[in-house]
A and B are shown apart, each in its own frame.
Chain A
């Protein structure tokens, strides 16, 4: 996994609440058996005017001019500004895969759905929870200033605005450590092999039926 240390990036605002993972990556693209290449289909139904199909070249498809991420001023954005309960619905990890492939490395919102939030950390994306009024202000500033960029420092747990304002955010220590160092969960888990085996032995004695199958 790509480590996340600091990020200085252009901000794109997606001003709607309860953005679900079906919207982030529609179901027909979930038929892929690969982990990459979902970026061109991120927000497919909002982004294009025609219907998207898997394995179809998106470069010539008609773009929806009303969709915010299609605006030239947000091209190359790496920070997504969002509203409440971002990433709700389906557990599909294709959603963070698509956002990462699109170019986003951080998402700022007042709240996230639990499974999506967790999936972001597995894919080098930092989801940042900020108070709703702070997010509201960032929306206004992003929309008012073309080229609005934020600086995110994971070690310091800060977001810095172009005006120099420093906003602190909370992040769980373990998730921070793993994301900062780009650590692989499976490798970390296998360091505990002896503990897992000891647990299984104990559990077999007290709940044998779970091991009967």
Chain B
């Protein structure tokens, strides 16, 4: 029988199937960070439990780490305690950890793929909802809570019910200046933040096959913002080429065996999905969120909507509350919204390709005699890992950013959720390449507009949102 990619990944990991539909699923890889793990380690210690397979874990601190000079350590004592607790737990349980001063440290969802820790065909979990990112490698990857972190550490398994399957089929060439981030936001805009609840989403079609691995990661990363715990893309030659030669990738005869298997990681022709959605990639425009949920999104050509036009009473109330929080009036053109800060980074958009796209805008600005607008208080670029940072510096991107007035920082989650010192102050408005525009997400009272890296960089230069497609020479393919 024809099977979906999700079926194949699921079937390969069933340890035990209960009659009531619940299955015990084996977990191959487990990423651990400082925020959602301390209570899990404490639970293990209290129960006197050992780790099932310590070698399947890769740990790093990312949420609390400072993005400025790290020589002084972490100033905030509460943040420092959390990072030190991770260090101590990893040492006690014998886990591989990239500590804050390690050149390989970074956001868990950037370093997993970078190290070849994330592999096609694997199950991968992390106490972090954006674990869906790793599905870009035809892996079954999803976020879990701390109780489940503890369970995976102790048993290598999770109790799961199989999700329904959804195919999001996208065909056509994305226009110049339109990225995987715009595609992700456009999909969420259509299906809503609950549209994927109960589903595992596979992204397919010519647009997806044309995306780089970085683009696929951005797309799968945002699957959770559409409500789906897992997003995934079939393996192809790009997937295999990305993994090859990475430090933890299979070697020698294992590599040959692995690649042969990975080539089977796609949905069979005629495999049945519970839902199928079609999108025209060529019709996608640069996206900007206007409200406090990722589904509150429009193209840069649009105007802030009027709650009177909302499709339901509940939505109308939502829109009114969102406009009040965001300090926006209905009917305002998106291009007239001014920003105070710009943030380029996060597990959504901090990989080398993202930085190249933003740096191209910075170079364009300098070539036009422009730089970050005077009205913009802060524009920061936070690479996803130490290795991304090093590569960007080798390519001179840091110089491009600095020359245009952007700050070049150390890697971490940073202003995506503001657990470190990088945050918005009440009322500040930010063009952000992160994934959530929830109230208070980037700092209490902060106002977030989600955009692509090039759109964030352009907003920083102009002081308001602009259509990247109109800046001749600024947009990269």
Contact = CB atoms under 8 A, between A and B. Distances in A.
B436 A22 contact: yes
Interface string A111-127: 11111001100110000
Of the candidates A20, A28, A35, A91, the one having the most CB atoms from chain B within 10 angstroms of its own CB is: A91
Interface string A12-41: 000111101011001110111111000000
B400 interface: no
A93 B82 contact: no
Contacts of B169: none
B155 A91 contact: no
A174 B18 contact: yes
B39 interface: yes
B145 A89 contact: no
A113 B194 contact: yes
Contacts of A209: 119, 250, 254-255, 257-258
A199 B229 contact: no
A16 B39 contact: no
Contact of A17 (B64, B159, B314, B439): B314
A106 interface: no
B367 interface: no
A28 to B, nearest CB: 7
Given A122-B147, A186-B151, A208 B317 contact: no
A45 B444 contact: yes
B64 A115 contact: no
A89 B438 contact: yes
Contacts of A23: 438-440
Given A30-B419, A31-B64, A45-B444, A189 B150 contact: no
B15 to A, nearest CB: 4
A114 B197 contact: yes
Interface string A170-213: 00111000000000011011101001100110010001111011
B345 interface: no
A25 B391 CA distance: 36
Given A22-B441, A172-B22, A174-B18, A208 B254 contact: yes
B78 A213 contact: no
Contact of B147 (A51, A54, A185): A185
Interface in B41-95: 42, 47, 49, 52, 55-56, 63-64, 76, 78-79, 81-82, 85
A12 B78 CA distance: 33
B145 A115 contact: yes
Interface residues of A, number: 59
Interface residues of B, number: 83
B36 A196 contact: no
A34 B40 CA distance: 10
A188 B173 CA distance: 50
Contacts of B64: 31
Given A45-B439, A189-B151, A209-B254, A196 B156 contact: yes
A100 interface: no
B129 A17 contact: no
B78 A54 contact: yes
Given A114-B227, A195-B15, A199-B26, A35 B129 contact: no
Interface string B126-145: 01110100000000001111
A14 to B, nearest CB: 13
A185 B147 CA distance: 9
Given A91-B145, A173-B20, A186-B49, A84 B39 contact: no
A210 B28 contact: yes
A113 B227 contact: yes
A186 B154 contact: yes
A142 interface: no
B331 interface: no
B390 interface: no
Contacts of A85: 193-194, 197, 227
A39 B163 CA distance: 32
B261 A207 contact: yes
A16 B317 contact: yes
A16 B49 CA distance: 41
B146 A93 contact: yes
Of the candidates B144, B248, B321, the one having the most CB atoms from chain A within 10 angstroms of its own CB is: B144
A73 interface: no
Interface of B: 12, 15-16, 18, 20-22, 24, 26, 28, 35-36, 38-39, 42, 47, 49, 52, 55-56, 63-64, 76, 78-79, 81-82, 85, 117, 119, 121-122, 127-129, 131, 142-148, 150-151, 154-157, 159, 161, 163, 193-194, 197-198, 224, 227-229, 248, 250-251, 254-255, 257-258, 261, 293, 314-315, 317-318, 321, 417-419, 436, 438-441, 444
Interface of A: 15-18, 20, 22-23, 26-28, 30-35, 45, 51, 54-55, 83-85, 88-93, 96, 111-115, 118-119, 122-123, 172-174, 185-186, 188-190, 192, 195-196, 199-200, 203, 207-210, 212-213
Given A93-B36, A96-B145, A186-B151, 18 more contacts: A22-B436, A23-B438, A35-B42, A45-B444, A83-B314, A89-B438, A91-B128, A92-B35, A93-B39, A114-B198, A114-B227, A118-B145, A119-B145, A172-B20, A174-B18, A189-B154, A199-B15, A208-B257
10 contacts: A20-B438, A85-B197, A90-B417, A114-B227, A172-B20, A189-B151, A189-B159, A192-B24, A207-B121, A209-B119
